[in-house]
A and B are shown apart, each in its own frame.
Chain A
Amino acid sequence: QNILTVCFSVGYSAVALNHVIDFKEKKQEIIKPVSPSELFPSLPIVQGTSKRIKILTRLTLVVSDPSHCNLLRSTSANIRLYDIIAVFPKTEKLFHIACTTLDVDLVCINVTEKLPFYFRRPPVNMAIDRGIYFELLYTPAIKDSTMRRYTISNAISLMQICKGKNIVISSAAERPLELRGPYDVANLGLLFGLSESEAKAAVSTNCRATMLHGETRKSACGVVYTVKKPRKVEEEETAVPACKKAKTQA
């Protein structure tokens, strides 16, 4: 709760709380997310505007095996309660699957060790088309020097493939002092190879797009498509009753 208070005082308007599910253990149940109302009796107001702060819940699946992905297809009720779903692929095949077919909002990119696989252009382009964002963490970079090197090298290799689009920078802060303000995080984006406008977008507009993506994933099941019929048919239809009328009158 401390972390959240610091977040809001620094100027963030929406925060997502993360639960990580790791599949190394035998069986894991997906826990129900903590409801935000338990943390704050009344949500404080964003600095500078008069809106309330949003607290979202987020689930991260650490997948190292294709069978773990079945969990996403299952209709477990608890998954639907999370607003944003992220996947953390450990192998190249899983990265490909996550970008192309899995129903997630974010794909986490590992920053704590050297990537075992190189990014290729086709799955990254497909992910960008589908509206999936790639996520980078910045807290390990602040803590440790070797992590910093891995973070920067992984981030720059990602940038070279995706040209800086669809990036979200987030913190995995466990203590309130590991947090940084939004302006600072955008400046960190400059270190990762983003241009200045892309870095600002990585903190603001891309995150909002991820939230909306999560909402559409939760609610939308199908699309209703209405097509306007061509005018000729309409006139004929209206003409027919007129003739009928004339006949009856006559």
Chain B
Amino acid sequence: MVRFKNRYVLCEVVSEDPRCRQCIEDRTLGLAVRDAIARVHGDYGLACCSISFTVKYLNAYTGTVLLRCRKDSYRLLCSALPFVRYLESRAQRYPCFLNTLHVGGTIRTCQRFLIQYNRTQLLRLLQNCTNEEERQCIQKSLLSCSLTEEQSQSGDEEEDDGTE
């Protein structure tokens, strides 16, 4: 069957500044990644990677980003991701870095991985949280997160929304 194969790269934006998370937008992130590819791989790399390059999913609360690119050029993209140093929006620079979590062939595999990853993150938060209420809240969300059948086309499932 002839169809275009894509690779979906799941990343997490890590930064020290708490304001950085609020200003993450798909356009700013796309620009930052393209800029990094241009710096590392030059014009050829930028042209190759931007054939089918979009930011598919963005979660400003957790800083999760899902990027899409062609299967032939995902190596160029992945090797240029460590070079993203800051996000620039509204004339302000926020230093940050992208942490690659998972590369998958479909959105669904990335979503599955994301749910597992969020589960482990919640467990870690559980260890660190001091308030009893917070503890119970987190435990409840842990027990209720799952992959449900009602999926929007952009794979918009977070464990807070997912219920049985």
Contacts and interface: CB of A to CB of B under 8 A. Distances in A.
A188 B79 CA distance: 5
Interface in B93-108: 95-101
Contacts of B82: 138, 142, 180, 184-185, 187-188
B79 A142 contact: no
A187 B39 contact: no
B39 A145 contact: yes
A5 B60 CA distance: 22
A184 B100 contact: yes
Given A187-B78, A187-B79, A190-B79, A180 B99 contact: yes
Nearest to A183: B100
B83 interface: yes
Size bracket of the B interface: 20 to 34
Interface string B72-116: 000100110111010000000001111111000000000000000
Contacts of A177: 15-16, 85, 95-97
B14 interface: yes
Q: Which of the listed residues B78, B120, B127 has the most CB atoms from chain A within 10 Å of its own CB?
A: B78
B81 A187 contact: yes
A155 to B, nearest CB: 13
B14 A10 contact: yes
B79 A181 contact: no
Interface in A22-50: 45, 47-48
Contacts of A138: 82
A66 interface: no
B86 to A, nearest CB: 9
Contacts of A10: 14, 99
A191 interface: yes
Contact of A180 (B75, B97, B120): B97
Interface string B113-156: 00000001000100100000000000000000000000000000
Given A177-B15, A177-B96, A183 B101 contact: yes
Contacts of B83: 141-142
Nearest to B81: A184
A190 B82 CA distance: 12
B20 to A, nearest CB: 11
A191 B97 contact: no
Contacts of B97: 177-180
Contacts of B78: 187, 190
Contacts of A6: 14
A9 B15 CA distance: 12
Contact of A187 (B14, B85, B100, B101): B100
A179 B120 CA distance: 22
Given A142-B83, A180-B99, 17 more contacts: A9-B14, A45-B127, A47-B120, A48-B120, A138-B82, A177-B85, A177-B96, A178-B97, A180-B82, A180-B97, A183-B101, A184-B81, A184-B98, A184-B100, A185-B82, A188-B79, A190-B79
